[in-house]
Structure 1
Amino acid sequence: MGTLDSDDLKSGVDLKSQTDDVSLVDERTAEQKKIDDWLPITSSRNAKWYYAAFHNVTAMVGAGVLSLPYAMSNLGWGPGVVILILSWVITLYTLWQMVEMHEMVPGKRFDRYHELGQEAFGEKLGLYIVVPQQLICEVGVDIVYMVTGGASLKKIHDIIWDGAPKIKTTYFIMIFASVHFVLSHLPNFNSISGVSLAAAVMSLTYSTIAWSASIHKGMQQNVEYGYKGKDRAETTFNFFTALGDVAFAYAGHNVVLEIQATIPSTPEKPSKGPMWRGVLVAYIVVALCYFPVALIGYYMFGNEVDDNILISLNKPKWLIAAANFFVVIHVIGSYQIYAMPVFDMIETLLVKKLKFKPTFALRFISRNIYVAFTMFVAITFPFFGGLLGFFGGFAFAPTTYFLPCIMWLAIYKPKRFSLSWCTNWICIFLGLCLMILSPIGGLQNIIKKAKDYKFYN
């Protein structure tokens, strides 16, 4: 029997420590391993950095980019440019904070937004603060995308079959929803990567069509850039509504931790490296989509621009029909990106709290109910964009602009009046202003549109 030398002893100690670590992990997850392998967020962790890039583009660049020229017409050149740039910078900073905080506790990953909230604010308070706001954002965006998808399909129909009998938007929303009754059964984020990539490419494509077709059409005669409100009150309400439109354009933070959860991570190579690379690429694409559409669209049409820049363009018909088709493909992907964390919440509740077995039947029923719910609300309230401007102001601004800053202050506790401390408090102040002001415009928008609205028209 041989003797143990120092190398053997060292390797034995290392092996023992690794075994201990594994046993600790196994102890922590043995009971939940089957469930965690089944849940959408934690079932697959083999994504690459470029998955994060196009998931973030799909989440961020919604069809709301087409309303940015209209938002500019209500903000004006000076405030509009400042707000666009500030929003881009602030949301990139808060997104960096969330990427950093994903693995701030060694050996632990905050795979979901509410888990980070629980670390910052406590087990119960974290849930109460984060979950309602996240649900308003994610479910709200899915309802808006139901409306957008249906409206874009209707535009395609009306352009191609000009003169054909008119079909209600309701039916087009139902056609759009039928796609999601199929796609919603893809199990996790990685399984929808193909749909997400197509959506990201489409967002860049229709944004490019919007600003390039605006240049081709040229500046309109007698273009004006003054506020178009009839009085000071209307101008102010329009300004507040435009703030909500800009906030809605930067809503991707609600799914960023869930996206990062799909990237593999080790102590030597944490997930924040590839995730941050993906985020930077995504934000460059966001800038290439947002700024040209907003500034060129407003420059060419002035305050007469429609709330959807594609409507202002009208011709050539084939190009506008194609752009609307690209919008449909994009919002199909975006719907899935925002639905996946909601599916995870629903399935976690059903399996972990209510003790249902993690089966295909459970997933099939729960996800179909969710899609049917968003379809029903979209059909009932196709002016939901204004409704979201009201409720979303309370949720989009916190989850995107300043809740990450509050978490950063609570967890890292930077020195008072240091650069980090000051930066975070500035973001919190600006985010609070946005949260208070944008719902005012949204409420006024709802009242105006609901006056003469006929249900299921």
Structure 2
Amino acid sequence: MEKEAVTGDNPSLPYSTPMEGNTYRPTKETYRSLEQKAIDDWLPITSSRNAKWWYSAFHNVTAMVGAGVLSLPYAMAALGWGPGVIILILSWIITLYTLWQMVEMHEMVPGKRFDRYHELGQHAFGEKLGLYIVVPQQLIVEVGVNIVYMVTGGKSLEKVHKTVCGGCKNIRTTYFIMIFASVHFVLSHLPNFNSISGVSLAAAVMSLTYSTIAWTASLHKGVQKGVEYGYPASSKVGTVFDFFTALGDVAFAYAGHNVVLEIQATIPSTPEKPSKKPMWKGVLVAYFVVALCYFPVALIGYRMFGNQVEDNILISLEKPKWLIAAANMFVVIHVIGSYQIYAMPVFDMIETLLVKKMRFKPSTMLRFISRNIYVAFTMFIAILFPFFGGLLGFFGGFAFAPTTYFLPCIMWLAVYKPKRFSLSWFTNWICIFLGVMLMMVSSIGGLRNIILQAKTYKMFP
């Protein structure tokens, strides 16, 4: 019997089969669509779409400005003034451009929203190939960043303890990582992006605060006696490898692309007011804040300490102790928020797999168990490999650079097909070339880091 649109009494049932009078029996397709809607309303990415443009701003700041900003002066020392400034500016411009592409592509098909990175990949490359290309890379970035933030949070807590209580008994890094993880065993049960907006806002404020402390305290300390700006490595080979590693450090400072579609999915959208307008407004504010954090820290820190700067600018500052302790505590608060931003898409993937593929019933208990297992996993790996930053430099080379620098460009070329040799065509191919080069050299630099750090490796430090 032919399907008829339901009107009047049953607007929630899009199609049903008439029986007697005004009584309708829902079809199987209707039940499936209602079941799908119920699942989407439960999953963390699609459950809430009432975010404002400023949610986009501080979510993107939290996702992008990691504690790695404090190592930018160290990266500058390995790059040198000329290449360092050029790479900082180029990275900012290229990643802003590719982020704009992703915001535009979120609703490029009328009536459809690509709420997740892999959904956009499936549209560009096909159902299966899109999953195979995007999901592994996105997971490497998000899970990897979560593990690094476990290490960063634990070590920052350790620095606070040592700074405030210099004469106290030493506590192993392992215990500080566990203390940091305990916060996430609670926060990870917030259901979706909008529910962590308060945590994200606090994290964004903290990132701006400790970045400001880093460059203002450096400026106050002044240029150090005998400062030198030559490359710190004693050999040409060491200089080249340090350059590669530093190139990766600067590039990895822009990892927010891996969660940008998921953030945009939380913003309401209509044909008259598409989500890309408030999303882009938030992105521009976020990138302005990113510039306020990155450029002063990198340039002023390097200017004051030269090639003797520590890999964490706060260590070079040393005094006043209370300010250094406060800055490290701000780092802890920031990475708490960053961990949640990167964990939310992973939670969405896990819960989608459990509910849609494995047919588990959506429930609080399912979410409680799956998220606790994930937090415990990232904690365990962080404790086991406290030099995971080096591992991330190697494995992340295959994921950070593609998802941030050139995968959006490839998808843009595949979907929009700009005219050959046009400005758009040239721009995208230049970004792809630079991204591929970055992917290769950052992997080489990361591999060297692993070899060097493995020599002094201690399990459960």
- The one-character-per-residue Cα deviations of 1:162-190 (angstroms, maximum 9, x if unpaired) are 11111111000000000000000000000
**Structure 1 residue runs of 4 or more that deviate by more than 2 Å after TM superposition:** 19-29
Match of 2:225 in 1: 221
- The one-character-per-residue Cα deviations of 1:9-64 (angstroms, maximum 9, x if unpaired) are xxxxxx99xx8996699788323011101000000000000000000000000001
Say yes or no: does 1:69 pair with 2:110. Answer: no
Query: Between Structure 1 and Structure 2, which shows a larger proportion of helix residues?
Result: 1
Root-mean-square deviation (CA, aligned residues, Å) is: 1.7
Match of 1:92 in 2: 96
1:398 to 394, 402, 420: 402
2:393 to 389, 392, 404: 389
1:158 to 154, 158, 162: 162
Give the counterpart letter for 1:225 in structure 2: Y
Following TM superposition, by how much is the alpha carbon of 1:244 offset from its aligned partner in structure 2, in angstroms?
1.1
Paired positions, count: 442
1:297 to 301, 320, 338: 301
Match of 1:122 in 2: 126
Say yes or no: does 1:177 pair with 2:181. Answer: yes
Distance 1:28 1:352 in 2: 12
Match of 1:149 in 2: 153
Distance 2:383 2:457 in 1: 12
Distance 1:21 1:283 in 2: 44
Which piece of structure 1 moves more, 258-267 or 242-251? 242-251
Match of 1:11 in 2: none
- List alignment gaps of at least 5 residues for structure 2: 1-6, 17-28
Distance 1:410 1:68 in 2: 35
Match of 2:107 in 1: 103
1:203 to 203, 207, 210: 207
CA 1:294–1:22 in structure 2 vs 1: closer, same or farther (change >3 Å)? farther
Say yes or no: does 1:261 pair with 2:265. Answer: yes
Distance 1:343 1:204 in 2: 27
Give the counterpart letter for 1:94 in structure 2: T
2:274 to 263, 270, 289: 270
Following TM superposition, by how much is the alpha carbon of 1:321 offset from its aligned partner in structure 2, in angstroms?
0.3
Following TM superposition, by how much is the alpha carbon of 1:247 offset from its aligned partner in structure 2, in angstroms?
1.5
Give the counterpart letter for 1:116 in structure 2: L
Say yes or no: does 1:379 pair with 2:383. Answer: yes
Identity %: 82
1:311 to 306, 315, 321: 315
Distance 1:415 1:167 in 2: 61
- List alignment gaps of at least 5 residues for structure 1: 1-14
Match of 2:290 in 1: 286
Match of 1:134 in 2: 138
Match of 1:186 in 2: 190
Give the counterpart letter for 1:283 in structure 2: Y
Distance 2:240 2:286 in 1: 33
Following TM superposition, by how much is the alpha carbon of 1:454 offset from its aligned partner in structure 2, in angstroms?
1.4
Match of 2:24 in 1: none
Match of 1:434 in 2: 438
2:374 to 359, 370, 391: 370
SS state of the match for residue 226, structure 1? coil
Distance 1:40 1:185 in 2: 10
SS state of the match for residue 202, structure 1? helix
Match of 2:4 in 1: none
Match of 1:40 in 2: 44
Match of 2:364 in 1: 360
Say yes or no: does 1:414 pair with 2:418. Answer: yes
Give the counterpart letter for 1:340 in structure 2: M
2:337 to 333, 336, 346: 333
SS state of the match for residue 249, structure 1? coil
Distance 2:306 2:335 in 1: 27
Distance 1:196 1:39 in 2: 19
The normalised TM-score by structure 2 is: 0.94
Following TM superposition, by how much is the alpha carbon of 1:248 offset from its aligned partner in structure 2, in angstroms?
1.2
